[in-house]
Every structure is written in structure tokens, then in C-alpha cells.
Amino acid sequence: MNILKDNFGRRFPYIRLSISDVCNFKCGYCLPDGYKINKADNRTFINTQEIGRLAKALSELGVSKIRLTGGEPTIRKDYLEIIKIIKKNSGIKKTVITTNGYKLNKIAKNLKDSGLDGINISIDSLNSKTFKQVTGHDRLHEILEGIQELQKLNFKNIKINAVLMKGINDSEKDFKEWSNFIKNNEIDFRYIELMQTGDNLDYFQKYHISANKFVDFLNNDKWIIQTFGKDAGPSKNFIKAEYKGKFGVIAPYSKDFCKSCNRLRITAKGDLRLCLFGDTGINIRHLMQKDDQIEELKDLILNQLNYKKESHYLEIGETGLNKNLSTIGG
């Protein structure tokens, strides 16, 4: 039973847990100059034992799904151990990961063997030049190869996310390339509308475009919107006969987006964040130190929910604590 409920009646069966701030990519909207150590904050990243205790506490609060994110979660040497610890001891039903997939062709088998329940891979374009332009890395080929490896291993629940950017990956040609891709692949592809963060105002102003451009394409191309359940999360999904995969749209600027919020976030340094944006959240790591602190940790998380606000207020430019999404995992 999920007992995490806020003052607006929303429940939180889903946690996004960042396990590293570090990233090797230089995505223009996130870390255009690459990852830089924050010298003002020399706290280390939460370790495997802390993560094990945290996952157990969350599971006892009714959380059923943890998504590992970052930064780039697979940069951490012990990322497989982390998956296994959550899978083995905590009671969490689904452990999934969001990754840039930079070494997916090499780690697909290990991921499958770890018991991972799902993977979201970020691929902003199927054109390798555009991919390199956005991420600073010419690695599209390896990532696509990694996806094929996962499919050969019969890994289910593969999703691809792309950030929609004006003039970069928002043409009908781009949309059709993804249509072709999901026609024969049982993979969901979603466009996320570019979000403004503390650091990316210029980029945002240059490249932000409403996700409606993609929705219009889907409507004209006779994709059918799927009705979704209460805990379905922020993606609106579209299906079409004869297509193995689905399309999805995540449009954070759309009206009522926050009404379906079902997730909380925890940073790699152990800060609970009640929203991707805004400035609410405190450090909870001191209560991950011993097994007998679990009740106290649960109480603290429950209590913090009283401070969750109704909306992110992003539409009025309130980007909050995060200079970019790499510290909080997008």
C-alpha cells in the first residue's frame, strides 16, 4: 500500500534516484561544457549500503519502482551492484535505469543478468551528425548496436527519449525516421519538450518548441491516443496498428502537467527533492547510515511531502535550485 501522499491527493509510487552527478556527454541543453566538479560541495555520492537502506525504507512506504539516473549512472563502477542490491533486498518491484547508452553494446549482457526491469536510452537523433552535434560524441552507432544486443537477449521494456529541439530534430523527416524505427521494434519512443534550467536560458530561447508540433504530426498521421491509468506518469502515448512500438510526448509546459506527478527525486548526494524544479528538499542521508534508522528515515520522507507544491511554476521561469538536470536526473 502506497502511503506517500501529498496535500493535493497525489501519490508517489515512483522514485528517481541519481547515483552520480558525473557525465561524459556534453548535451547542449544540459552540460554543454561537460561535467565540472562543484568545489563548494565536496560530499561524496551515496554508497551501496546507503542505497540499500534507502530502497528498503522507500519500499516500506509503498514505492514500487526506482529509476537509477544521473549524470550518467553507468559511469559509476558499482552500478550493477546497485541494481542487484535494490533487486535483492529491498522489496522494490521494478528497478529501471535512464542512460545515455554510451557503452550499451558492451554492457547489454551484464544489464540483462543484473535483473534490471527496464531501460530508457536518450537518443536525440537517428542522424549521427546531429547526434554528435547535440551530445559532443560520435557514438550513435554503438548505442544502436547495444539496443540490438538487448533485443537479442530478449530484454523487455526498452524506451528511447529525445529532447525536442527547434531546427535540430523537429522536422517531418525526423518524425518519419522514428516512425520507421518503431514500426518493427517493440520500443517506445518519446519526445520531451526542452525545459529551461538555471544554466540554459540562451539555449532554451533558441531551441525550445512546443511539443504540439509532434502531436500535430501524430494526429495527421492517424496515431491514436491511448487512455492511461491513474499512475501512468507524464507521457501521453500514441499507438497505431501494425506498429510494434508506441510514440509518447512529455510536455512539461502543458496545462495540468503536474496533476499527474507520481515521482519524487533523490540526488546522488542524498538530497530528497520534491520536484524537478523549485527549491524544496532537504538532505536525508544522515538517516541512511544504520539499519535501525529506517523508521526515522520513513518519517522524515513522509513529513517532507507536506512541502510539495502543486506545480513546478516553470511557465513563469522558476527554475529553482537546479542549474541543469544532471544533478537531479531529468
Comparing CB distances to ligand SAM, the nearer of 90 and 122 is: 122
- 3 state DSSP class of 20: strand
5 DSSP assignment: B
Q: Which stretch binds ligand SAM (CB under 6 A): 95-103, 108-116, 215-223, 283-291?
A: 95-103
Q: What share of the chain is helix, strand, coil (3-state, %, to 5)?
A: 35, 20, 45
Contact code string over 108-147 relative to ligand SAM, x by CB under 6 A = --------------x-------------------------
Of these, 17, 23, 85, 305, which contacts ligand SF4 (CB under 6 A)? 23
Count of CB atoms situated within 10 Å of the CB of 178: 23
Closest by CA to 118, choosing from 82, 73, 150, is 150
- 329 binds ligand SAM per the rule CB under 6 A: yes
- Residue 261 has which C-alpha cell? 506527478
Contact code string over 89-128 relative to ligand SF4, x by CB under 6 A = -----------x---------------------x------
Give 297: exposed, middle or buried? Use CB within 10 Å, 0-12, 13-18, 19+.
Answer: buried
- Residue 10 has which C-alpha cell? 497525489
On whether the CB atoms of residues 52 and 59 are closer than 8 A, the answer is no
In angstroms, the first-to-last Cα distance of the chain is 27
Comparing CB distances to ligand SF4, the nearer of 99 and 235 is: 99
CA gap 291, 204 in Å, rounded: 44
Of these, 12, 14, 29, 189, which contacts ligand SAM (CB under 6 A)? 29
- 27 binds ligand SF4 per the rule CB under 6 A: yes
Say which entry of ligand SF4, ligand SAM, none residue 31 contacts (CB below 5 to 8 A, set by partner kind).
Answer: ligand SF4
Q: Which chain residues interact with ligand SAM by CB under 6 A?
A: 23, 29-30, 69-70, 72, 98-100, 122, 161, 163, 192, 194-195, 197, 200, 325-326, 329-330
Positions touching ligand SF4 (CB under 6 A) are 23, 25, 27, 30-31, 70-72, 100, 122, 326
